[in-house]
Copies of this chain bind each other. A is one copy, B any other.
Amino acid sequence: MSTPLNGSLIKAFEILALFDEDRPEASAATVARQLDLNASTAHRFLLTLEHVGALTSVRRGVFGLGPRLEQLGRLAERMNPLPAFVKPLLDDLSREMAESVMVCRLSRLGPVCVAVAESGRPVSVVVKTGTALPFRHTAQGKLWLAFMPEEERSALLQQTAILNGQAPESSDMEKLARELNEIRERGYALNLGDNEPDIAAVAVPVRSGTGEMIMSLSVFGMLSRFDKTFTDRARRRLLEVSDEIGGNFVSKYGKYNAR
């Protein structure tokens, strides 16, 4: 057969997978029970994971996720392969639509552009990779809000308001909630000059195999060029390409939750 894998390492990551919001800490007894390991083996794994910084000792016998994972996680985010994967697809789509196209992942700052193909038109909108878009008033931002869990959306909107130094009006929140409902039903988001007067965008979700939104894919450009014919065509093409990205990226890179 092919190269066998290292069983210890697999077990170690199974241990790391035990931690989540509902289980922020674990003891050797917990690990032993959950993974059907001998207590001594569980204890040794925990001590080793602590030694490498992946876990940290909360108190005697109890461990939580550690700083090394934070560091590696941040490094991994800065280096992920997504941009290289989608760029060729974006280039093709951009040529076809004769507008700029981008893919965004979610960050706490808002949807962050991770890959962009520019239209090459003399007058067009320029967005650089790494740019975070506002959640409110952009197609990408509203799309992410529409498809994220309610508690997360509330927390995020509150954070954004604090940063902007203003409290959201409740009538604004209701209007937004209605709009997000529409987006969920339609399956795409539109911006016709809401954020910047002359800028328009159509955005669709890219989904993982289990249906959750992992990226947004959008066409954007000058408002004057986004008539109904164009936006309908864009929406359809975007949804086709997003299916292609979702399917191929997942099969190539495994389940990839961008959030």
Q: Which residues of A contact B (CB under 8 A)?
A: 3-6, 8-10, 12-13, 16, 19-21, 24, 40, 43-45, 47-49, 51-54, 56, 58, 64-81, 84, 107-110, 130-132, 134, 155, 159, 162-165, 253-257, 259
Contact = CB atoms under 8 A, between A and B. Distances in A.
B253 A3 contact: no
B5 A75 contact: no
A11 to B, nearest CB: 9
Contact of A66 (B69, B76, B130, B165): B76
Contact of A76 (B65, B76, B159, B164): B65
A5 B48 contact: yes
A56 B51 CA distance: 24
Contacts of A21: 75, 78-79
Nearest to A78: B21
Most buried by B among A20, A76, A84, A259: A76
B76 A70 contact: yes
B12 A9 contact: yes
A233 B147 CA distance: 50
Contact of A64 (B5, B81, B259): B81
A148 to B, nearest CB: 15
B253 A56 contact: yes
A166 to B, nearest CB: 11
A20 B75 contact: yes
A142 B69 CA distance: 28
A210 to B, nearest CB: 14
A179 B159 CA distance: 27
A51 B5 contact: yes
A51 B5 CA distance: 8
Given A21-B79, A56-B81, A67-B254, 19 more contacts: A3-B47, A5-B48, A6-B8, A8-B8, A10-B52, A13-B52, A13-B54, A21-B78, A56-B254, A65-B72, A65-B76, A66-B76, A66-B254, A67-B255, A68-B254, A72-B73, A73-B74, A110-B163, A130-B159
